[in-house]
């Protein structure tokens, strides 16, 4: 079985969205639930690392890693589905991000601030 492409993942992820009515309106619960879910899942990752730091002297064990992989997947799901709500292929999100960070590297501006540096 060949690996999923970003767009194949996105299409399959969307089939698991509980909202049958989907809207690209930010005011619609189907849309905003994806925004809030994305932030919530990112928070779950932060929480797991906080507990590793607090309770395990910062030592990441295999069980931690497996749990964090699940949460990273949850973030990916929300990114894929949110992008779909905006009619943006997940491949475009990945390509544009990679173009951005590779450009920053080439220009020596990986450090610093500003979204558009
Ligand atoms: Mg989660």
Domain ranges of the chain: 6-107
CA distance 1 to 105: 34
| Superfamily holding 6-107 | MazG-like (1.10.287.1080)
CA distance 75 to 59: 23
The per-residue pLDDT for 104 is 94
Q: How far is the CA of 50 from the centre of ligand 1 (A)?
A: 15
Q: How far is the CA of 75 from the centre of ligand 1 (A)?
A: 8
pTM of the shown model: 0.92
Residue pair 116/99 in contact (Cβ under 8 Å)? The answer is no
In the chain, which ranges are continuous DSSP H helix? Answer: 6-14, 29-55, 62-85, 90-107
CA distance 54 to 37: 25
Q: Rounded to an integer, what is the distance from CA 29 to the centroid of its chain?
A: 19
Q: How far is the CA of 76 from the centre of ligand 1 (A)?
A: 10
Q: How far is the CA of 33 from the centre of ligand 1 (A)?
A: 14
Q: How far is the CA of 30 from the centre of ligand 1 (A)?
A: 18
pLDDT band at 40 (very low <50, low <70, confident <90, very high): very high
pLDDT band at 88 (very low <50, low <70, confident <90, very high): very high
């Amino acid at each position: 079985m060949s690996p999923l492409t970003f767009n194949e993942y996105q299409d399959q992820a969307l089939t698991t969205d509980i909202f049958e009515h989907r809207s690209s309106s930010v005011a619609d619960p189907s849309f905003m639930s994806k925004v809030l879910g994305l932030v919530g899942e990112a928070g779950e990752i932060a929480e797991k690392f906080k507990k590793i730091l607090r309770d395990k002297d910062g030592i990441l064990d295999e069980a931690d890693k497996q749990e964090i992989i699940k949460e990273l997947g949850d973030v990916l799901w929300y990114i894929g589905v949110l992008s779909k709500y905006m009619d943006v292929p997940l491949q475009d999100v990945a390509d544009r991000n990679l173009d951005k960070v590779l450009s920053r590297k080439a220009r020596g501006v990986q450090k610093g601030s500003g979204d558009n540096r």
